[in-house]
Amino acid sequence: MLSDALKKTIRTTHTSIAESLDGYRPRKSQNYLVAEIAKVLAGEYHRSQKICVIEAGTGTGKSLAYCLGALPLALAKKKKLVISTATVALQEQLIEKELPFFKEHSGLDFKFDLVKGRHRYICVHKLNSALDEDMMQMSLVPTLNSPLSEQEKNCLVALQNAYQNKQWQGDRDSWADTIPERVWNLIACDKHACQRQMKSHHLCPFHLARQKMAQMDVLVINHALLLADLELGGGKILPEPDETFYVIDEAHHLPHITRDFSSAAATIKGTLDWIEKLLKFSQKMANAIVSQKAIGQNFKLNDAANDAAKDLRSVRDLLDQADFNYNDDDTYRFEHGIVPEQLTIKAKDISDATLDALRALNRMHDALTLDVSDGDVTAFLADPLLAESGQYINRLEQLQKLWFSYASKGDSIPHARWIKRLEYKNHHDHLLCDCPIEVGYYLKDKLWRECAGAVLCSATLSALGTFDHFAKESGLKGEEGVQFIKANSPFDYPKQATLHIPTTDKEPTDKAFSDFLADALPKYLDRTKGNLVLFASYWQMEHVAKKMRLKNWQILVQGEFSRDALLKKHKSRIDSGHGSILFGTQSLSEGLDLPGAYLENLVITKIPFAVPTSPIEEAQAEFVTSKGGNPFLSITVPDAAKKLVQSCGRLLRKETDQGKITLLDRRLVSKRYGKAMLDTLPPFKRQIDY
């Protein structure tokens, strides 16, 4: 329960923050959120499952609300507060603006930091080794196909000098210039080669950052790092889940990122090639290990790797002879995720052999690490071997994950499984892929039932008026104690914006719709203002831009410049008193902040329906149909409704903003699902032509 002392702390903190904010006005919806978050995390709704799902409209001030509602409670109960986001932009906003302000003015004493994945940091030992000629020769095998260019070597020297002179802390994001991918892969920290128990790695930036993390009260991370920790069992990278309150901002991304994390893929010929290299490498590694046990593990590794290779060759022959009906994208999807019996049998053998190889290599890796710690083998000799074995361990883990899934028959979790045929100049290959269709069970088992509490928030979590779609995707459907909360935006939508649906000559499904857009769009644009036009496809956007430019329209088109450069050009035109027209696709409908004069006229060309062309989307639709459902109404329409809300959300960013939205898709008024979508949009003043 929420004690009187905690209630007082929250009220006092809220007052201190309010007094420090310029032009602060009390917002009923924000006050409501603060109270609900605190009550949920204090266990007032459920003693053990302390979770709330919040849809907070633009301008609600949700980041301030979850800091006010969650942080005093976390400090009082000695829990860590982990804030996870989907975008770098929000992380930067929290670290550079929101949390420093909150700390300065809240009266609360807390420490916070940004936590990044291991691969964002250099390994100092690797950096120094990369510039050592002898060491470089040893390191070339696992990481580079050809020697570094002069420019790449110069980059390495600059990085080393900056780090040694304490002008750089050793993380990729704080380096002002671009670090080439080949250079970074050579020096990046990795879990197998860069281990804290080894003296040569004690001062690596990653390990220093992790030591610092233990002293923090608030940690800002991204969803990928959260899932990486969950995959390791929780509490391996981040604090233990049962000692943590999680705030998952931009939570609408979580199910899709979880799905990507749970997928696996591997080629046949490509795998055979690296297994052959692994067999040669394992002998080199065994020779370096002092312990006699390495000999036995090397034999086991060789036997298992040879067994896996033999079965993979059988699969290669099987796929070459199979009469699969590949589509235009050279992809064949197994219906309902069911693979042929012959392939299932081989998959079981490959999965078992890969697991045996993985265990043997892990033992050899641990033995060499121990030898270095004991001083029996020098780090100079061991580090390149540990780096290379780490790469093989990662590959074996991915391979085992794929083939274990292909060997699983009749599992209760539906999977999409498919093969992509790869054609090269002198040979061909097959890429086998696997991805679970539903990941709610994973989040339920690994996170919701383990954590001390969780707040999930976003501007778009409901679809067509309910949270059902998101609750099912995220594993929260039917869970006891979960609170679903809607906090309305403080915007006066009818006064601030008009939503216009004009009559159109062509339906979006008509082949001539793109040409219609090129002719009709000029009517809905204002050359003197900030305009944004959102398209459903790159092809359509470029087609319309090309035709309009022939009529002397000045247009900034997504893809012709980087996102940052595009927005700078757009803002520069507005700042200099001219209008600007920005063309973009769905990716610009989220996370784009163009307040005030930067955007006063928004045109959405059509409802952003996703076309189910990927094997995962096809498998999802197939699964829903097999259960007697309608995939269009249960997946496609809710997803499109959320995207449409996001698109419309670009117009009003502040309570002083004004503008107009034009929707050129008549299905919003002619179709039953369209009317349901229209009702989920904010209550703009409506102008519907007939």
Alpha helices in 165-292 (DSSP H): 181-187, 205-213, 223-231, 254-261, 269-288
Q: Are 461 and 55 in contact (CB under 8 A)?
A: yes
Cα–Cα distances in angstroms (integers) from residue 106 to residues 56, 81, 286, 533, in the given order:
22, 16, 58, 41
Contact 661, 498 (CB under 8 A): yes
59: left (phi over 0), alpha (psi -120 to 50) or beta: left
What single-letter amino acid sits at 88?
V
Element (H, E) at 437: none
- Closest among 617, 564, 565, 570 to 595, alpha carbons compared: 570
Q: Which two tokens stand for residue 79?
A: 């829990």
Q: Which two tokens stand for residue 276?
A: 């052959």
Of 484, 580, 583, 579, nearest to 533 by C-alpha is 583
What are the strands, taking DSSP E only, across 481-613?
A: 483-487, 497-501, 530-534, 556-557, 580-584, 601-604
* Nearest-10 crossing angle of helices 99-106, 4-20: 110
Q: Does 52 count as an annotated binding residue?
A: no
Instruction: Please report where in the chains the tokens 């952003």 appear, as a residue.
Output: 608
CA–CA gap between residue 643 and residue 665 (Å, rounded): 14
> Among positive and negative, which fits the CA dihedral 609, 613, 616, 621?
positive
Give the CA-trace dihedral at 510, 512, 515, 519, to 10 degrees. -80
Place of tokens 């490959």: 350
Helices (H), 121-253: 124-130, 133-143, 150-164, 181-187, 205-213, 223-231
204 is in an annotated binding site: yes
441 Cα distance to chain centroid: 19
Backbone angles phi, psi at 423, to 5 degrees: -110, 125
Distance CA 603, CA 351 (A): 52
Element (H, E) at 687: strand 685-688
Written in H, E and C, the secondary structure of 270-339 is HHHHHHHHHHHHHHHHHHHCCCCHHHHHHHHHHHHHHHHHHHHHHHHHHHHHCCCCCCCCCEEECHHHCC
Q: Which phi and psi (to 5°) does residue 252 adopt?
A: -65, -15
Residues contributing to the annotated binding site: 123, 194, 204
Residues contributing to the annotated binding site for [4Fe-4S] cluster: 123, 194, 204
